[in-house]
Amino acid sequence: AILMADALLRDENAFKLWKMIYEPTVYFVGKTDDLYVDDYIKLIMEIFFPNESV
């Protein structure tokens, strides 16, 4: 999951596409109870230096 989140973090277009899919899903189903991409991105930012490869 961290590798997938890192890939989205490094590819702005992929992250926008993910958001376009996730946000309508949240509207209909509600926010996930599990960890999701934003949680993993926050974790990556805390642990790794900027521009450091995971």
Range of the domain at 34: 2-47
- Asked, for residue 25, whether it belongs to a domain, the answer is yes
Task: Tell whether 52 is covered by a domain.
Answer: no
- Pick the more confident residue, 50 or 29: 29
Query: For the segment 17-49, what is each residue's pLDDT rounded down to a tens digit?
Result: 999 999 999 999 998 899 999 999 999 999 998
Let me know: does 6 contact 54? Beta carbons within 8 Å: yes
Furthest-apart CA pair in the chain: how many Å? 36
Query: Is 3 a residue whose pLDDT tops 90?
Result: yes
Confidence of residue 50 (pLDDT cuts 50, 70, 90): confident
Residue 22 located in a structural domain: yes
Predicted pLDDT of residue 37: 93
30: in domain: yes
pLDDT for the residue 39:
94
Residue 54 within any structural domain of the chain: no
Residue 6 lies in a domain: yes
Tell me the pTM: 0.77
In-domain check, residue 13? yes
Could you give the number of structural domains in the chain? Answer: 1
